Structure 1
Amino acid sequence: MDIEKEAYDKIIEAGKIASKVREEAKKMIKPGVKLIEVAEFVEQRIMELGAKPAFPCNLSINDIAAHYTPKLNDDLEFGDEDIVKLDLGAHIDGYIADTALTVDLSKSYSDLIKASEDALYTVIKEITPPMNIGEMGRIIQEVIESYGYKPVSNLSGHVMHRYELHTGVSIPNVYEKTNKEINVGDLVAIEPFATNGFGMVKDGNLGNIYKFLAKRPVRLPQARKLLDHISKNHSYLPFAERWVLKSENERLALNSLLRASCIYGYPILKERNGGMVSQAEHTILITDNGIEITTK
């Protein structure tokens, strides 16, 4: 995408907000703290600072790599053996910053965390546009494997456009033969995942994150009302059930929208062999003057 000054300023500001909230929320992740406290803090703090959440705050624990956000009235707490992926996004007028880190409450997985972090910073340093995405995957894979772990091969980073979280090319975490490239003007989220497991994720249960698909006929009046609200307020970016349900009584309406394919529910992504997973993520903007990490 061509970057005009107004868009550039919003991209940079969204990145500053996302990184500030990430560091504040990191300190809250402790044994006995409820996940919903951290998620709601993240989402409210992003708005306090002048942006909006680009997606629900993800808090994915242990072998869950991605796509879990607390449900309405969730009472799940962090445990003292957990390895926690905190993944959050902020946007200003649709210009997105996406960032993540891993918190090891067990103090047993420092090398696993270093593997994904080192892969992230190494590949960013090596980017010279135009950059072949398969070559980026090779760098990520080599760094993670040098620590004795496996990259998660079926998760990837992504190019982002205005109000579009995943669009264009994906940035693999392993080598693949391809002619696809990232180039000047691209806004890219790079997110290496490392694991001591199999090296792939599989779909689990729904993780309480949804996206709007289309307005279709539904019978329940409550479902029609909910669909109207979702289509008006969450038509572009993913949303949490917490954002649209006022009480458990409305869950029937949400489920009817799922069945009617008005909305899509994201499944949690679990490591195939139950391995522990770490994640590190930054958003970069590729400019004529070089690479800018918007979420540093």
Structure 2
Amino acid sequence: MNDEEYSKIIEAGKIASQVKEEAIKLVKPGAKLYDVAEFVENRTRELGAGVGFPCNISLNDIAAHYSPSYGDNSVFSEEDVVKLDLGSHVDGFIADTAVTIDLSGKYSDLKKASEDALNTVIKEIMPEMNVGEMGKIIQEVIESYGYRPVSNLSGHVMHQYSLHSGVSIPNVSENTKDTIDVGDLVAIEPFATDGFGQVVDGKDVYIFKYLRSRPTRLPAARNLLRDIEQNHAYLPFSERDMAKIDKHYKTGLKGLMMAGVLYGYPTLVEREHGMVSQCEHTVLVTENGVEVTTK
């Protein structure tokens, strides 16, 4: 990693952190999820970064991958536990960060469980650390609060223009030979729940990833594909992005998925509909430990 790449990693982290802190203030009962998501992505661009992935605003038993669609009029309630997960990038160098906002005031310990797990594992990271050991630390902290880690969600190593680059950071102890080393950019994201401890696919898809180009006969699909190949070829994008391109965007997205052009990320729901909390930072592994880029 050269100095220019390092500077871009740090800048992306600063922007993501600033946007997160500003967005937290907007998450309140009666506010629209759509408005918060649009703020996050527009503010990220205003500050000079690109959007690393669509803003996730996942409520209660939804752990991840809910990003408000065009025309979504849903609002936050006084009973919601909100996971706000956002990302920025500078020239493809990504910062990924998340926070839980407990509007109900009933789940402070659940929120603390994921926060404490994240902070504890960050303090323990050293070069060549086995990721299974990282998962063990996360699991032990969450279980000490009386909750379960979500075992089939994980953090991830990131490369330039690649959000998930092969090595995963489990939230439970695992027998693996995978390690992280100096220069690795890692998103660590413990999830805690009072439910079963696993997520299953929901029925809705709001976030997409471009896979490959294939011919399509649908005019709407062709319109979307031109924009996707130009602006979203490497990082995930949202249904909202496509609503701004073609009024028949839903038909176009469906056609592109059926043709194998796009992969759709379904919402991820706790298996027994337990409440879920999340906390996430991006860290750069150094010779002496880590540098947290999103603080």
Interval containing the TM-score (normalised by the shorter chain): over 0.9
Query: What is the letter of the counterpart of residue 270 of structure 1?
Result: V
1:28-84, Cα deviation, whole Å (9 max, x unpaired): 100110001100000000001010110000000000000000001111111110000
Moved over 2 A (4+): 246-250
Which amino acid in the other structure matches residue 74 of structure 2?
Answer: L
For 1:89-122, what per-residue CA distance to the aligned partner results, in whole angstroms no more than 9, with x for missing partners? 0000000000000000100000000000000000
Matched, 1:268 2:267: yes
C-alpha displacement of 1:215: 1.1
**Could you tell me how far apart the structure 2 residues matched to 1:259 and 1:209 are?**
15
1:248, distance to aligned residue in structure 2 (A): 4.5
Q: Is the 8 A contact 1:206 1:265 kept in 2?
A: no
Cα drift, residue 155 of structure 1: 0.2
Which is worse superposed, 7-16 or 223-232? Answer: 223-232
* Structure 2 counterpart of 1:89: 87
- 2:32 alignment partner in structure 1: 34
1:15 aligns with 2:13: yes
Aligned to 2:109: 111
Aligned ranges 1:77-156 → 2 under 5 Å: 77-156=75-154
User: Alpha-carbon deviation of 1:289?
Assistant: 4.5
Distance, in Å, in 2 between the alignment partners of 1:289 and 1:149 is: 31
Cα offsets for 1:130-150 (capped at 9, x unmatched): 101000000000000000000
What is the rounded CA distance, in whole Å, between the counterparts of 1:71 and 1:25 in structure 2? 18
- Alpha-carbon contact 1:209-1:266 (below 8 Å) kept: yes
2:165 is paired with a residue of what secondary structure? Answer: strand
Amino acid at match of 1:49: L
Unaligned runs of 5+ in 1: none
Contact 2:157 2:163 survives alignment (8 Å): yes
Partners of 2:67 and 2:151 lie apart in 1 by: 23
1:218 counterpart (216, 219, 229)? 216
Aligned equivalents of 2:25 and 2:236: distance in 1? Answer: 25
Give the equivalent residue in structure 2 for 1:159: 157
1:8 is displaced (CA, Å) by 0.1
Q: Deviations over 1:261-296 (max 9, x none)?
A: 111111000000000000000000012343100001
Give the counterpart letter for 1:157 in structure 2. Answer: G
Instruction: Measure the CA separation in 2 of the matches of 1:207 and 1:103.
Output: 23
Paired residues in the alignment total 294
TM-score, L = length of structure 1: 0.97
Which whole-Å CA distance do the structure 2 matches of 1:271 and 1:16 have between them? 31
Distance (Å, rounded) in 1 between the aligned partners of 2:221 and 2:248: 11
Gaps of 5+ in 2: none
- Give the secondary-structure state (helix, strand or coil) at the position aligned to 1:168: coil
Aligned CA distance change for structure 1 residues 289 and 146 (closer, same or farther; 3 Å) = closer
Q: How does the TM-score come out when normalised to structure 2?
A: 0.98
2:291 — aligned with what? 292
Task: State how far apart, in whole Å, the 1-side matches of 2:120 and 2:174 are.
Answer: 18
> What per-residue deviation string (whole Å, max 9, x for no partner) do you get for residues 220-244 of structure 1?
1221121111111100000011112
Deviates more, 1:204-213 or 1:262-271: 204-213
